Structure 1
């Protein structure tokens, strides 16, 4: 379906005046004064700080305003003038705060002092850092290390993450789940199997050379808006963009550049997608198979008629394995099945295939719309199959492009945050630090909460994030969390996880990356990896919110020192005082990636990690890029939607949200105001059920495990979404997602495809 004309259902482009107004609103809301708002000019600059929200690539030659609406909101959120001091808890009990909306909890302001929960008064009270470290270390030394979970969100720097994983392994476990387990672990597994490296292969320079881009299940307008600059430039150059998404999202339809006077002062805009296909939720494998089938059949015809081949035969023969089996599967696949499962007409899939066959260099961008499914890993492998057919990997302007969320979630894995011992350099760590690391597999996020529900977890160290709120099956996991002996939360703001205290609970306030971090050796800098595998340095530019706040490396070092004592060969005080010492150790552990780390970290545009697949070197089991024959065409053979009237729910984020952080209850792109208890539904589905706009409904999960999962108070909004599919906001709808409903190989929760009924 062509999108040469903007849909009347979407009267606004992404960016433009709406974006500027939204930024101005949050600056006022957070009481960020005019002089402080100038810090936005230092955002994503080589001499400034890396954005604390998304991980999209940072150019070597940045724009004057190298930030987007989402990034500006994240910066305003962290630099707010509002404070949550210890006196806040003399007014509010924890039980009272549980009734607050998630937005209001974080909106209260920055945490200013280390806190310990007092169960007798149901309040948090201030403690000294020394007391907190001593008590945490004493408790940790009473537990079986296998019963302790070391979780980290995607914001922690490379330095902090390296320290944290080393602490956990010296303590005695590989229980190092992180936010990647919740979103892109399907990428880490799928790409690793297919091309030998678990990250994407494109760089910003590839945007200048690509002829065609696919988008699958990623909403660039809200999740990585700075990417719109590269998309706009590519479109002006004539590149085509084909989008597959269950919702029509403004960021993938058209864009008004806030930095372009012509587009701000006139109706001008850039059309983003040249084809936009509303694929059914869970129909991505079928859609990609349809394109592959059309390409393979076109090649069969060309070969029989002695015309030039459509497939890149040389690439397939030299660099891949498994093509014949996959091609046979595609040829035998029924178009009726492909159309039924994808929800797309054959003509639309063939139109996408026609564009693909004309293009020399093709990128494929994707997000959690591919990964958060029962068959999430298969979705990633199918995308690789599609690219392999015409050699679209390992050449300029081409390759897979998983668009990560958190600003350093990819980098954390690079420096050892993983529950899989085979992915960590354990032998090198053993030699470097004179200890024997544990070799048994640790728990990922789902496994950690499964063990928690069974009563097998004693403690959780929660380095950033809002873990209780972000995981599935909230009505089962929250009670399990409250029974823990110890919870330690390192955070900048109050959130839901802090209000479900265990027997002993601490909230430890940390510096934001935006703030100046001064230690004994002077002002410090940190580093992170972006979505394209480039490493960047970052310096804070504002004064800390309170003199009692400490940096993440300081906190990790303090807990490690108090826990490990003489068992550790690490001089944690030296690491706390000078992060360049930590970077020197990272360079020793990961020589190929981080050699000369301290010297290279300020290179404009960052320095790139080695990506063998980019050079057509395949570190797979076979030594070649590997085609996969799909296990199933349907979204979920183990949890099918067969009940009459059943619907498939996908969870969504709004334009005023970053992960579990909610900046506003409005979602201007979707026309939602004042509430997030909204379900987006096809108008035909509404008519069949006798529902009017704003009708209130209750959803119930369709599952046969004997557990009732319901969410009421939801208002229906008509929306352009495939029949049988509905959308609702994350994390509110997590209560409907079973903990066991995850991608088979990666255990990423299946949040984009939850079978539900209206009750």
Structure 2
């Protein structure tokens, strides 16, 4: 298929490539908006560098030989967001009640600046008031001692360091609970489950050096241009070597089409750019399993014909026979699959899938990159397993240049799991912790995100500790969850900026301001460093370089240590004071708990490019139930059986981020790639669907979820924006559309919320009820 036929079109909405002058202008604008002093802008030169700091945004890999400007637009915006000159002092809270602040836009809350002092909610005045750190720690510890540990949740966002995360999980377990929900529950838990079942490790097997050895790359449901732009550099280098990149994504995203390298004078001074996707297939929302099945069907059919003719085999027979189980059952399922059903569910013609399969069969080493477009579905785990099935067919796991590559979001969300942040006791080294610290950890399963909020709705949660994040805004079913959150006895928020979770507070609530990773962290033993794990399973050191926003802010390790000390008291076997004063001691303990990965941790953390964690699947050692890589047979092609969507006027909604956003942090109300200015209450819809529903550009609609469970879920005031997206599929921003997602609509096995496939109806247009 010719590149011009399905990649670059004259009518693409965004006329420029990602990167280039548009990116440079956006970074400059972010620094000016945040009033970042000129000297702080030089901090960017130390971002993602050895002896510098790891980006606080995405978790993409840090190269051993970094570029001069080893940061992307998204990372620069995140740095500017943290280094802002704006401050939220106690005097700010004297002027504003919580009720008043609840009416502010989420962007405006964080945009008001950095928190500077510990705060406690005062019900009499409906304000947050300044308290001393010691008073806060004493009161929180006293409250936690009154609760049943099984009724307390210790939430961790993906930004906290390995050191903080290790301390946090140890605190929770010494307290008596495995309730350790984290942001992975919201996004890549389907990966953790699916890859673990298929190849024996719950993370990807691709590293940066594999980009130099690959022959082909797939992208499924991952918008690299906005979610991990630094990844565009190795993609550009691969494309210049002639490596094809085949993209499956419902929306045509500029970041997946073409890229102008801001570090290339030629590309900055001319219209030159690199074509990223050589094939771009707009799969229907929820149609990924069907699309993958179609490719597998073509490959297996080609192999069947080759075998009948005595020709060289298309499949890697040696790999399949030596390293896998379950192939025959999967192959029989594939052979029996109907092309009409594959085309209907995927939304793609057979010819498109044949074009993708042809490239796959020509390539020796193939990577499969994917994001939440794969994982946040009812069949999210199945999607991950299907990607593995495709890779297994030609031996594309455990060899250079090949393998599954889940692209994570938060900068240490993968690393937190590596050091024990998990509600699943079988995934935590409980015996090692028991021997190392002389206590008996709880052995019963804890609660993940969905289970925490299910229990909260039932009145079975007393307190939530938030180590970063904005859980109230990111959770599904917000209109049901917020009242339940307000019934909590205690909410504690460790944060750099004010957000919605602090305002929708419990009976007693604290905000504890912490240092950003970018800031210099000095403790009793001197300047401290922390570490994190990137998407490729490599561990990096990070050292703050900017002056703290406030002398009254405290580091995350210190805050966790003090909370643990004041809660556990004499029954703790950890000298938390020593740990808070010297993080190297924490790393020594991590190395004892996880010797296979963290041996000699303190010396290796500054290895250029990071040091890799132990991943047996890279060496074709399979820690699965069978001891081999496991094929799986799909349960369904991707329909959601528990949500009726056969109504003639139904649409399938997926939520997404803008280019000026990282998770719930909204840097701007603009989305330049999609042509949006100053508005996030937007629904992207194809022109055929607009005609079918009698809609015009800029009409305002109300959406209602199709779910017959006794609750009505609506979001009003959504503006129609024409966009290139498959018929019957629409898209809207996260978290604005979260109220439409039922808490119970989650991926089987992983309980990741199914945010990428929500059946909805249009029930109002421009304030008038829609006729049935």
TM range (shorter): over 0.9
Distance 1:627 1:246 in 2: 26
CA contact (8 A) 2:644 2:706 kept: no
User: Which residue of structure 2 aligns with residue 515 of structure 1?
Assistant: 519
User: Which residue of structure 1 aligns with residue 366 of structure 2?
Assistant: 362
CA contact (8 A) 1:299 1:309 kept: yes
User: Which residue of structure 2 aligns with residue 692 of structure 1?
Assistant: 696
1:171-222 deviation digits (Å, cap 9, x = unpaired): 0000000000000000000000000000000100000000100000000000
CA contact (8 A) 2:622 2:628 kept: yes
Specify the SS of the correspondent of 2:229.
Answer: coil
Please point out which of 89, 95, 108 is paired with 1:91.
95
Determine if the alignment matches structure 1 residue 592 to structure 2 residue 596: yes
TM, length-normalised to structure 2: 0.98
CA offset at residue 6 of structure 1? Answer: 2.2
Distance 1:634 1:409 in 2: 27
CA offset at residue 637 of structure 1? Answer: 2.1
CA offset at residue 460 of structure 1? Answer: 0.2
Determine if the alignment matches structure 1 residue 349 to structure 2 residue 353: yes
Residues 550-589 of structure 1 aligned to structure 2 (within 5 Å):
550-589=554-593
1:1-53 deviation digits (Å, cap 9, x = unpaired): 65436222231110010000000001000001211100000000011000000
Distance 1:283 1:501 in 2: 39
User: Which residue of structure 2 aligns with residue 221 of structure 1?
Assistant: 225
User: Which residue of structure 1 aligns with residue 275 of structure 2?
Assistant: 271
Distance 1:652 1:2 in 2: 29
Please point out which of 137, 157, 164 is paired with 2:168.
164
User: Which residue of structure 2 aligns with residue 682 of structure 1?
Assistant: 686
Distance 2:62 2:758 in 1: 35
RMSD: 0.6
Distance 2:547 2:28 in 1: 22
User: Which residue of structure 1 aligns with residue 147 of structure 2?
Assistant: 143
CA contact (8 A) 1:293 1:330 kept: yes
Determine if the alignment matches structure 1 residue 127 to structure 2 residue 131: yes
User: Which residue of structure 2 aligns with residue 47 of structure 1?
Assistant: 51
User: Which residue of structure 2 aligns with residue 466 of structure 1?
Assistant: 470
Distance 1:33 1:668 in 2: 25
1:91-131 deviation digits (Å, cap 9, x = unpaired): 11100000100000000000000000001100000001100
1:663-719 deviation digits (Å, cap 9, x = unpaired): 000000000111000000011000011100001100000001010000000000110
Distance 2:441 2:319 in 1: 41
Distance 2:431 2:270 in 1: 61
User: Which residue of structure 1 aligns with residue 84 of structure 2?
Assistant: 80
CA contact (8 A) 1:3 1:253 kept: no
Determine if the alignment matches structure 1 residue 750 to structure 2 residue 754: yes
User: Which residue of structure 1 aligns with residue 482 of structure 2?
Assistant: 478
Distance 2:107 2:655 in 1: 18
Specify the SS of the correspondent of 2:31.
Answer: helix
User: Which residue of structure 2 aligns with residue 711 of structure 1?
Assistant: 715
Residues 229-268 of structure 1 aligned to structure 2 (within 5 Å):
229-268=233-272
User: Which residue of structure 2 aligns with residue 529 of structure 1?
Assistant: 533
Determine if the alignment matches structure 1 residue 420 to structure 2 residue 424: yes
Distance 1:463 1:11 in 2: 41
Specify the SS of the correspondent of 2:562.
Answer: helix
Determine if the alignment matches structure 1 residue 205 to structure 2 residue 209: yes
Determine if the alignment matches structure 1 residue 376 to structure 2 residue 344: no
CA contact (8 A) 1:138 1:563 kept: yes
Distance 2:544 2:249 in 1: 37
Specify the SS of the correspondent of 2:90.
Answer: coil
Determine if the alignment matches structure 1 residue 641 to structure 2 residue 649: no
User: Which residue of structure 1 aligns with residue 9 of structure 2?
Assistant: 7
CA contact (8 A) 2:423 2:445 kept: yes
User: Which residue of structure 1 aligns with residue 671 of structure 2?
Assistant: 667
Distance 2:588 2:615 in 1: 22
User: Which residue of structure 1 aligns with residue 438 of structure 2?
Assistant: 434
Distance 1:309 1:401 in 2: 26
Distance 2:3 2:379 in 1: 29
Distance 1:641 1:367 in 2: 25
Specify the SS of the correspondent of 1:629.
Answer: coil
1:474-502 deviation digits (Å, cap 9, x = unpaired): 00001100110000000000000000111
1:35-94 deviation digits (Å, cap 9, x = unpaired): 110000000001100000000000000000000000000000000000000000111110
CA contact (8 A) 1:362 1:387 kept: yes
User: Which residue of structure 1 aligns with residue 635 of structure 2?
Assistant: 631
Please point out which of 443, 451, 457 is paired with 1:453.
457
CA contact (8 A) 1:373 1:635 kept: no
Distance 2:307 2:644 in 1: 40
1:257-301 deviation digits (Å, cap 9, x = unpaired): 000011010010000000000000000000000000000000001
Distance 1:472 1:524 in 2: 37
Please point out which of 315, 319, 339 is paired with 1:315.
319
Specify the SS of the correspondent of 2:389.
Answer: helix
Distance 1:610 1:636 in 2: 36
User: Which residue of structure 1 aligns with residue 394 of structure 2?
Assistant: 390
1:322-368 deviation digits (Å, cap 9, x = unpaired): 00000000000000000000000000001100000000000000000
- Any unmatched runs of 5+ in structure 1? none
CA contact (8 A) 2:288 2:638 kept: no
Greater Cα shift, 637-646 or 35-44? 637-646
CA contact (8 A) 2:283 2:348 kept: yes
CA contact (8 A) 1:696 1:714 kept: yes
Distance 1:511 1:197 in 2: 33
User: Which residue of structure 1 aligns with residue 30 of structure 2?
Assistant: 26
TM, length-normalised to structure 1: 1.00
Distance 1:320 1:577 in 2: 49
1:547-587 deviation digits (Å, cap 9, x = unpaired): 00000000000000000001001000000000000000000
CA offset at residue 634 of structure 1? Answer: 2.7
User: Which residue of structure 2 aligns with residue 36 of structure 1?
Assistant: 40
Specify the SS of the correspondent of 2:709.
Answer: coil
Specify the SS of the correspondent of 1:439.
Answer: coil
CA contact (8 A) 1:371 1:748 kept: yes
Specify the SS of the correspondent of 1:732.
Answer: coil
Specify the SS of the correspondent of 1:716.
Answer: strand
CA offset at residue 650 of structure 1? Answer: 0.1
- Any unmatched runs of 5+ in structure 2? 764-772
Distance 2:452 2:475 in 1: 11
